[in-house]
Structure 1
Amino acid sequence: TGIHSNKEVSKKMKRPKFTVPQIGCDVKAGKIINPEFMVRCPAGCQDPKYHVYGTDVYASYSSVCGAAVHSGVLDNSGGKVLVRKVAGQSGYKGSYANGVQSLSLPRWRESFVVSESKPQKGVTYPSALTYSSSKSPAAKAGETTKAYERPSAPGTTAQPAALTQVLAEATHDTLPKPSSCAPLVTSSPRPQPVGPRSPEMGEVDSWKPGSVLLDAGFVPKEEFSTQSSEPVSQGDPNCKIDLSFLIDGSSSIGKRRFQIQKQFLSDVVQALDIGPAGPLMGVVQYGDNPAAQFNLKTYMNSQDLKIAIEKISQRGGLSNAGRAISFVTKNFFSKANGNRGSAPNVAVVLVDGWPTDKVEETSRVARESGINIFFITIEGAVESEKQYVIEPNFANKAVCRTNGFYSLSVQSWFGLHKTVQPLVKRVCDTDRLACSKTCWNSADIGFVIDGSSSVGTGNFRTVLQFVANLSKEFEISDTDTRIGAVQYTYEQRLEFGFDRYHSKADVLNAIKRVGYWSGGTSTGAAIHYALEQLFKKSKPNKRKLMILITDGRSYDDVRIPAMAAHRKGVITYAVGVAWAAQDELEVIATHPARDHAFFVDEFDHLYRSVPTIIQNICTEFNSQPRN
């Protein structure tokens, strides 16, 4: 019977059943040495605190389970996943997918890919994983990693299988030699590990290389880790914005809701992927009066910013959001505070209920200063409270559109977290941030300059000075207003296109260098040429302005080319000098002609029309809906 029993035991030991190791959401692929393995992930790995770097191919510093959810292999309820290590990448692109915001990373030494848990034929996957760090992820996940088996009889001892495997994997100089007070094998039938929690019999809470086994528990000798510190992201370049968060610190909000507000900020920061090449963020808290907690250049990554947010203490007082918006307009978006100029300015205002001052006028001034105002109203006034609201419908009055893009209403503070992703998606949609565009920084302006013989060299230089005076009024860069120029006689010549110069100084120098051509006056052909050579290359989200200067009647027809310009959305200003025909100027100009056609009797008087032209450009811009 004894021999038969031993055979049965031997048979079972020869055919061990494969079990998929369980890991926690926080386990990074780089912690696991195995090149290919299968694991079981728990539920809840969608949480933004489990960092993921990359898309499809992930940096090994990423959470294995977080990457599995991001890739769509698993959902937030967990499950099994197959992981394969691959070479490090020169760059990892962040993206939002399946409820997980992955982060960008310039480079990392090792990568991995995840796929459905379908084992390949002939491939054996490990039942126990080999870890490179001092922490045991299995214990965190609740896995019962048995280091000791119950002895078959009292007083007998058995070498634990799992412990033997771990010790074999460790190098000889990692573990100290056991002393008499730290036996590797215990005779106690029910060993109890030393540590903060008491697992079931036979469980080891954690094992650390360089630890000594003492009375069935592990006492760490020293921490040991081969993992580098967390990589610092340069930020998501697809969301390059300068962002100010205006948080409500009024007394009415209470400590609990103020903490919810701070958690909301932290979640937004995590989703945004803060960095010098991406979004930067500062925080202003308001009560009776506003105060900057920190500005755009104080913290350059999400981790530091989240720590700073947690340290913010509540100011108390009233809820003067209007005063806070005015403060941000005047003080926050300055170069000294980290404003980059090339990134849209965005201000997100959180309001508990309703403001205790007016916000419409201060918001209008902010918008005209190029700031995109977003309003998030939490627990707005109910019918019986509306009598106390100073400015009814304040949220719609404060933003530049009323289509719901710039305002969000949240019924309860406990539902605020649901707006994280909708808000992040909107503030990062730089093509739709029309409120950061003003009449100074939103156009492609093409000058069409008459270089005919009747102008003369001296007057031509006066015309160029007029062009320069108009140009210098605008904010010129590749992302702001761009300037191009065409000179014409019987023929046409592209002096420079919209994509040639990206600073005001370069544009003004290019205007000075334009040489006088001399010849006839074919204005109609010049308009057609400008449409083809200048405005065809205009950016889709830019306003198109043509400013044509001529001193005489055209030798060809201007009506058809002018109509073509109007149909293509090119706003045309016609400036006539001396012998220019008034009726022709009115045909060329956009309707109404009184706002777009100008005439001066002498070249030396051109400068007088500059302020009126600029004013009309801005008036027209501000009167148009920016949807």
Structure 2
Amino acid sequence: MTALKTLIIIALVGYVYGLDKACPFKPADIIFVLDGSGSEGAQNFKRQLHFVSNFTQQFEIGPNNTRVGLVTFGTGVHNEFFLNQYNDNSSVLNHIDNANYPDGETNTHLALNFVRQQTLSSAHGGDRDASKIVIVLTDGESLSPNLTVAAAAALKSDPKVTVISVGIGSKVNPDELLAIASDRNHTFRVSDFDALSTIEADLTTETCNVCNDQSDICFVLDSSGSEGASNFHHQLEFVNMVANEFSYEGNTHTQVCVVTFSTSSHTDIPLARYHTLDALTENVLKVPYRDGETRTDLGIVSAFNQLQQRHHGHFPAARDFANKVMIVLTDGRSTEPDLTKSQAHRAQSKGIDMFAIGIGSNVDPRELDTIASDHDHVFRVTNFKQLDSIHQSVVSAICAKSLKATTTTTTTTTTTTTTLPPTTTKAACGLKPADIVFVLDSSDSEGAENFRTEVEFVRNFAAQFHIGPGNVQFSVVTYSTDVRNEFFFNQYHNRNGVLHAIDNIQYMGLGTNTSGALNFARTESLLPANGARANSTKYVIVITDGRSDDPDATKQEAQLLHTKAEVISIGIGPRVDKTELANIASNHRVVTVDSFTLLKTIKNQLTDLACQSDEPLVF
């Protein structure tokens, strides 16, 4: 069987079992504002609800994930539900399906004012630190255009709010659509209500990338002696978590640089060096720890130079139109506090948005306030492992500044399509339950760095799914000479818990007891007592870079496991035993990659196949 067919087999897991393609790392608050005026009629209003339902299914709904609100309008405004009313997908989707058609005039301004004054109020959950996306659908011109323009301007004055306008049919006013939206890039046109499904993918992209444009971000990392190499690595992981939230396509998108400081400073990644997320994150993890004193001032100087320069060698660097951001991380007091203060003030005076992140108890709170643009740009964590807990807040603060400063000149998107029946909209990855066990080789042939790449692959794969008792569940087993259960299905009930547990998986580094790991997956991981569900499909995904210590026992255990679950084997590098990979897998569901760094290519293809395939997958 070819590698592509095996990738399709893996993709089937995502297609049928709840892949959450939309914004896996970045929760958002999404408010739909639906025109329910008399020009639509009840049937077309239902088509809007059908579109909203399909769109919402892509997201994981919850208090710490994406939240959704729904407002409808005609002559008056009707709130269907606020952002904090529902904490799960089924409740949200059920209410959307049963929303009432309001009928009447087209008082768009009343709906926009309601969103600003009520939906986004703290009383109704609107004060959460997350991007706010208001999606307005209408099929005609508002009854009071001047009031609509004024209401839209007031709503957009909040820097965390992005407004997307969708015009349906030929009677909409393009100028009014533009006045409602945050900018031209956030306006959409479709020919009729049946064609709404054709903009779903583009609208999802805009929703997930509302703050991704036009930022130059420079990370300044403490590499002094008080940190140590392990803690320094946690800073690098934090850089990648933040970087993962942004888009890197085109010249108007995000650029990132990384500077480290100890006794001296080093520009390890210049601002314009990498233009894809994969290239950036791979090289961030290669930035070395250097040890030494805490010359924070020198790190700020190097980052300042990156954010001010116009060229770096043959490549353009800082951009005049871009939002300039400097994020300084430190675990102690600087060696030269006066110089740190003066360099921070110089950067602030040039319009650079300065963030200060203090780690541990040895930081000077007054120095953090000096470095940061204001107190809201100061963050504190008690240790390096807690950096992941603040990454979303940092991203939201960057987005707020970027949205306020950004203007675009992109033309309005117009979509003309063949009319489709309203029931043929492609389902965006359903919610059928699956139980997925990862079995990870942690033997000495891998080495700690390759094992970390393996774990990162598992994390990115899991991050795409709706995770919970009613959707997809994950369990992880690692093995070398011994077998170690990392967590069972019923240990974590949401995506954040699973991802945090995966992040804490440690390398073992001895033999290759593959048979023992397969036995554990069958006799422990897949037990109902440990969370395996009778109504779910069971998958075991085995990742290894070599040959097991006892191939005969591995083959025997694999055959027993096949009676309990579908088994997929992934072999990495030149030392894998392809015969053994075939023995491990169910029906030769085997894929091989040449190196650990290529694991991510499986995830990328998996994501694309899972949410873009319209036809049933046949093997």
TM-score, normalised by the number of residues in structure 1: 0.37
TM-score, normalised by the number of residues in structure 2: 0.37
Quick check: which one's helix share is greater? 2
Higher Cα Rg, which structure: 1
